[in-house]
A and B are shown apart, each in its own frame.
Chain A
């Protein structure tokens, strides 16, 4: 019996990114509903068509149960609340494709929303952190979110000679892309010198090595090929999915790689392609170092050579070595709910539809990759890779 695969057995038919970056006047549930309606409208479907629902720790209350009721989803046959931080939504899409391939549902809705900018810190899914068995052995020494990425950056610099100027090139490329996005939180183009001159937050990461903090949300609709044939908008075919966890390795952590070393090959194997085939990549960019290490792990360059790969405009659209994050990414555009995975998928779908901003649209974009990294580089993370193909 040949291995079961999701390849070509599900499509992304609708996407929606909330246009606002500060939403003081709406609840998190309202924003979930707003993005759900937006993605369904983009697909040409309605709430009544949805028979699978996926959400993560940002969903208020009882997660999928609370949101299914709020949204009025009456005929759900499939639920998944996998929580891996910012990578959750890529995992959801992979799981939705598998569920659709197995006949468990045919229209799956994935939603994300949150208000870390105006609603105070409400990091979804974190209510139980204090009871985590590892909690005392990390929290007592004052780790911060930037610090938990800085530890990885410092070690990468030590082992491979990566420089702050190379990391800055990632922010520079993102800022150039964001300058074309009217919704981007930061639209000003910055230079390497400006990144290096920004205040040090946690050595070696500067303020401009860090992503933005924004309210917002996004949603994706995954459908079966049969449903897709009834729709008019171009879809993105789901060709491959890989997910993995990486953690402190029983106290033997290696900070120089991420879970992408496993999720990437799994996705490429399922899709039947290689990094050289990818026309556009959405790479999770909580911090510049997240991008650099992930590019190595996914096989876009050799281990330790990420610095050279991103230098000299390597990530610039449309003609760089690997055009990345053409919406401006989490570094400049949007990092809704402190979770950047959803927007990674949305921009990849825009590229495959030819609907990215003309200044950054990759010509003849046929194959796109989206990658999410949830958790922290210096402790534990959920990594997820999707490979998507243009509608044929």
Chain B
């Protein structure tokens, strides 16, 4: 899909390549600790809760709620001409609070506690950006 927002292209690293490869297929992966079960964010091959390096990828449900948000009137960099856009923290059903955008909604209607679901904005170069839209 395309939300109309800028789609800067992520640069996958040795640790995050599987995450970004999955976004190209419309799947949101979350790293989970084999040792303690913690769902880790941001993605890394290390569990910051228990120190384990045994981490595997689980597919997220894509469901979440808005934890906080702001309507940025003027962005910078790739977002310089994006006009008002919503930057937010969404709390995923699996636990992590992730920075993202709320798209497909009038910014004036976005609110804390709002149910949202993931959508993927194609960057045109493989990876897609996970964003969220009202459920």
Binding site for B on A (CB under 8 A): 133-134, 136-144, 146-147, 150-152, 154-155, 158, 199-205, 248, 250-253, 255, 378-379
Name 30 A/B residue pairs within 8 A (Cβ), A-sorted.
Answer: A136-B13, A137-B43, A137-B98, A138-B99, A140-B8, A141-B101, A141-B131, A142-B75, A142-B79, A143-B99, A147-B72, A150-B70, A150-B72, A151-B88, A154-B68, A154-B112, A155-B68, A200-B71, A201-B72, A202-B72, A202-B87, A205-B70, A250-B38, A250-B48, A250-B49, A251-B96, A252-B95, A252-B97, A255-B67, A255-B89
Q: How far is the CA of A155 from the CA of B39 in the complex (A)?
A: 23
Which of B6, B72, B97 touches A251 (beta carbons < 8 Å)? B97
Binding site for A on B (CB under 8 A): 5-6, 8, 10-11, 13, 15-16, 38-44, 48-49, 67-79, 82, 85, 87-89, 95-101, 112, 129, 131
Contacts of B71 in A (CB 8 A): 200, 202-203
Contacts of A150 in B (CB 8 A): 70, 72
A137 contacts B99, CB within 8 Å?
Answer: yes
A158 contacts B112, CB within 8 Å?
Answer: yes
Contacts of A155 in B (CB 8 A): 67-68, 112
Which of A141, A205, A252 touches B87 (beta carbons < 8 Å)? A141
Q: Most chain-A CB neighbours within 10 Å: which of B15, B39, B98?
A: B98
B39 contacts A140, CB within 8 Å?
Answer: no
Nearest first, the 8 A-B pairs at minimum CB distance are: A251-B41, A251-B96, A142-B79, A150-B70, A137-B42, A155-B68, A203-B71, A151-B68
Q: How far is the CA of A137 from the CA of B20 in the complex (A)?
A: 11
Question: How many whole Å from B108's CB to the nearest CB in chain A?
Answer: 10
Contacts of B44 in A (CB 8 A): 133
Q: Most chain-A CB neighbours within 10 Å: which of B15, B69, B76, B99?
A: B99
Contacts of B68 in A (CB 8 A): 151-152, 154-155, 158, 255, 378
Question: How many whole Å from B70's CB to the nearest CB in chain A?
Answer: 4
Q: How far is the CA of A215 from the CA of B23 in the complex (A)?
A: 43
Contacts of B10 in A (CB 8 A): 136, 140
Contacts of A144 in B (CB 8 A): 72, 74-76, 79, 87
Known: A251-B40, A378-B89. 17 other contacts (CB 8 A): A133-B42, A138-B99, A139-B77, A142-B72, A142-B82, A142-B87, A144-B76, A144-B87, A151-B70, A154-B69, A154-B112, A155-B67, A202-B70, A202-B87, A204-B70, A248-B42, A251-B42
| Identity of the chain A residue whose Cβ is nearest the Cβ of B48 in the assembled complex | A250
Q: How far is the CA of A142 from the CA of B15 in the complex (A)?
A: 22
Contacts of B40 in A (CB 8 A): 250-251
Q: How far is the CA of A332 from the CA of B8 in the complex (A)?
A: 35
B11 contacts A136, CB within 8 Å?
Answer: yes
| Identity of the chain A residue whose Cβ is nearest the Cβ of B100 in the assembled complex | A141
Q: Most chain-A CB neighbours within 10 Å: which of B41, B70, B75, B88?
A: B70
| Identity of the chain B residue whose Cβ is nearest the Cβ of A140 in the assembled complex | B8
Contacts of A147 in B (CB 8 A): 70, 72, 87
Q: How far is the CA of A134 from the CA of B10 in the complex (A)?
A: 12
B73 contacts A202, CB within 8 Å?
Answer: yes
Contacts of B48 in A (CB 8 A): 250
| Identity of the chain B residue whose Cβ is nearest the Cβ of A158 in the assembled complex | B112
B42 contacts A134, CB within 8 Å?
Answer: yes
Question: How many whole Å from B124's CB to the nearest CB in chain A?
Answer: 14
A133 contacts B15, CB within 8 Å?
Answer: yes
Contacts of A140 in B (CB 8 A): 8, 10, 129
Q: How far is the CA of A205 from the CA of B76 in the complex (A)?
A: 17
Q: How far is the CA of A201 from the CA of B71 in the complex (A)?
A: 8
Contacts of B129 in A (CB 8 A): 140-141
Q: How far is the CA of A145 from the CA of B52 in the complex (A)?
A: 33
| Identity of the chain B residue whose Cβ is nearest the Cβ of A253 in the assembled complex | B97
Contacts of A199 in B (CB 8 A): 73
Q: Most chain-B CB neighbours within 10 Å: which of A142, A143, A150?
A: A142
A154 contacts B70, CB within 8 Å?
Answer: yes
Contacts of B99 in A (CB 8 A): 137-138, 141, 143, 379
Q: How far is the CA of A142 from the CA of B8 in the complex (A)?
A: 9
| Identity of the chain A residue whose Cβ is nearest the Cβ of B42 in the assembled complex | A137
Contacts of B73 in A (CB 8 A): 199-202
Q: How far is the CA of A146 from the CA of B87 in the complex (A)?
A: 11
| Identity of the chain A residue whose Cβ is nearest the Cβ of B31 in the assembled complex | A251
Contacts of A250 in B (CB 8 A): 38, 40-41, 48-49
Q: How far is the CA of A137 from the CA of B70 in the complex (A)?
A: 17
Q: How far is the CA of A211 from the CA of B116 in the complex (A)?
A: 33
Q: How far is the CA of A133 from the CA of B76 in the complex (A)?
A: 21
Contacts of B97 in A (CB 8 A): 248, 251-253
Q: Contacts A133-B15, A252-B95 known; A142 to B101 CB distance under 8 Å?
A: yes
